[in-house]
Amino acid sequence: MIKMLDVSKKIKKTYVLKEISYTFDQGNIYGIFGKNGSGKTMLLRSIAGLVVPTEGQVDINGRLLHKDISFPPNVGVIIENMELLPQYDAFTNLYILSKIKKIATKDDIEETIRKVGLDPNSKLKVKDYSLGMKQRLNIAQALFEKPDILLLDEPTNAIDESGVNLVYDLLLEEKKRGATVLIASHHKEDISLLCDDTLKMADGMLTNE
């Protein structure tokens, strides 16, 4: 469970998040919609522990971020500018990352790469990937350690139609597994059917649709 308790974030005299209080329950998919610059990405960053709220706190299963823990214990993230190592292939990239937490096996990595529609045995380097392939690999990067929380910022960006359906199926699988999924998007229509709850982000404020 993720509890946001009066979370505000101020950057250069402007509040980009304003007193956000909300509880995201375990095992649900939440869609966060809003225009560019409304604060969706900043909300995900603050839950991921990448930014420190100016006011308020984020509670992850009873533990406070930046107080009891630096980051959520088991989180998968897709966030803008997040890139994998361009000089390596898909498998090597995930294998290097897997060495940090040591919870995913080589089989888990291969299976996840296959699930997102890529070939785990391909030696093609990430720098030679198309945008859509990079995004698929980013999704695999977020999923392969079977995280409890998934924070996905525009996860279907640059992915073709068949790929989008594949991603939706994967997210439903993650939900079945018990993961809490937060998806930020500016296309409400695209993923609202997938979500248990949809929230609107505008001017740094989060409201129920």
Nearest distance, CB of residue 101 and another protein, angstroms? 5
Nearest-Å Rg of the Cα atoms of the chain is: 17
Establish if 82 lies at the interface with another protein (CB under 8 A).
Answer: yes
Q: Which residues contact 193 (CB under 8 A, 6 or more apart)?
A: none
Among 20, 47, 58, 84, binds another protein (CB under 8 A): 84
Nearest distance, CB of residue 100 and another protein, angstroms? 4
Interface mask toward another protein for 42-61; x: CB under 8 A: ---x--xxxxx---------
As to burial, measured by CB atoms within 10 angstroms (0-12 exposed, 13-18 middle, 19+ buried), residue 28 is middle
CB nearer to another protein: pick between 74 and 192: 74
C-beta separation of 19 from 206 below 8 A: no
Interface mask toward another protein for 130-169; x: CB under 8 A: -----------x---x------------------------
Partner residues linked to 30 by β-bridges: 182, 197
Rounded to an integer, what distance in angstroms lies between the CA atom of residue 65 and that of residue 208? Answer: 24
Among 23, 35, 73, 169, binds another protein (CB under 8 A): 73
Distances (CA, A) of 27 to 9, 93, 129, 209: 27, 28, 33, 20
Interacting residue ranges for another protein, rule: CB under 8 A: 45, 48-52, 70-71, 73, 75, 77, 79, 81-85, 97, 100-101, 141, 145
